[in-house]
Amino acid sequence: MTAPDSAARPSPVVPTVDYDQDGVQHGFLRLPYSRDDSAWGAIMIPLTVVKRGEGPTALLTGANHGDEYEGPVALFKLAGTLRAEEVTGRVIVVPAMNYPAFRAGRRTSPIDQGNLNRAFPGRADGTPTEKIADHFQRCLLPMAEYVLDVHSGGKTLDFVPFAAVHAVPDARQQARCAAAMRAFGAPYSLVLRELDSVGMYDTAAEAMGKVFVSTELGGGGTTTARSVAIAERGVRSFLRHARILTGAVEPTPTLNLGMPSDACYVVSEHAGLVEPCVDLGHPVRSGQLLARVHDVQRTGAPGIDYRARLDGLLVGRHFPGLAQVGDCLAVVAVPEG
């Protein structure tokens, strides 16, 4: 099916705030959603706009995936505390972007099974998840110069805390993204290589030339005091870097990492019980055992060894104790100068 009708149709999502008004406004993105328990109902996605005078706009989002919590914690708190007097320009805060997924504690939406970060550019006449994507694509992203999307591993992955950018074709944009990533000040800064970037919010923002930074700050479907502190400090540093908040960015030590090839990803070809053999953040050598997958259907079968394919650092790992065929077991990144 082609999408000319969708592209011509206005977004059905209506903000209850005025983006051009100075001050602090707490409101919603109202997405009509007719259903059994609310015939003319709507999904109400919380949003805060803080604006003062002229200046750049930053768009800050969490829970693009509903089971990742550093973003929502940091951004609900920021929305509740940020004062207009602190701001030059505009900050748009959407703490829980795929709100139905967030309320369900799931990566994807319980309504349409939509993975928002694979739904871009979305459709105005699509599912609720596609309508959210379309609204960000055509209404919110165009308003912003600086875009920060706070992720973590969710229920099935865990990461060392890193901020990330992708390699983009425009060297100037790449440098601006990398500078904003370093300003975020996570313990690790990674030039991320995606397995498949089609449909991602990242790709949409980068294609529009935005200064775009994402993160992976932890995982396992929860937060820690440390990961939340990294998110909160990072969000404020990002806004200082954009000169929307005054004050210098506090320099924080970060280790720069890259992902030179797909060999960084270790994917399970077996289902079973996972024995981690290296912990997150530890250095690994090519050939080193990273994890073993044990048969759970019988005793006496040898475990299957999964080894690093290059020298580096273990930055990501499978989180649940059981793995399926095709699960990402480990992610190795390589320190750069």
Please say which residue, 202 or 244, places its beta carbon nearer to Zn ion. Answer: 202
Instruction: Map the footprint of Zn ion across residues 146-165, applying CB under 5 A.
Output: 151
Distance of closest approach, residue 64 Cβ to Zn ion, in angstroms? 6
By CB under 5 A, which span of 7-15, 54-62, 64-72, 283-291 interacts with Zn ion? 64-72
Binding mask 86-115 for Zn ion (x = CB under 5 A): ------------------------------
Instruction: Map the footprint of Zn ion across residues 194-223, applying CB under 5 A.
Output: none
By CB under 5 A, which span of 58-66, 85-93, 157-165, 225-233 interacts with Zn ion? 58-66
Distance of closest approach, residue 151 Cβ to Zn ion, in angstroms? 3
Judged by CB under 5 A, the residue of 65, 135, 155, 182 near Zn ion is 65
Please say which residue, 28 or 201, places its beta carbon nearer to Zn ion. Answer: 201
Contact of 185 with 231, CB cutoff 8 Å: no
Told to check if 241 binds Zn ion by CB under 5 A, we report no
User: What's the full length of the chain, in residues?
Assistant: 337
Please say which residue, 293 or 331, places its beta carbon nearer to Zn ion. Answer: 331
By CB under 5 A, which span of 62-70, 88-96, 119-127, 235-243 interacts with Zn ion? 62-70
Distance of closest approach, residue 216 Cβ to Zn ion, in angstroms? 7
Provide the binding-site residues for Zn ion, judged by CB under 5 A: 65, 68, 151
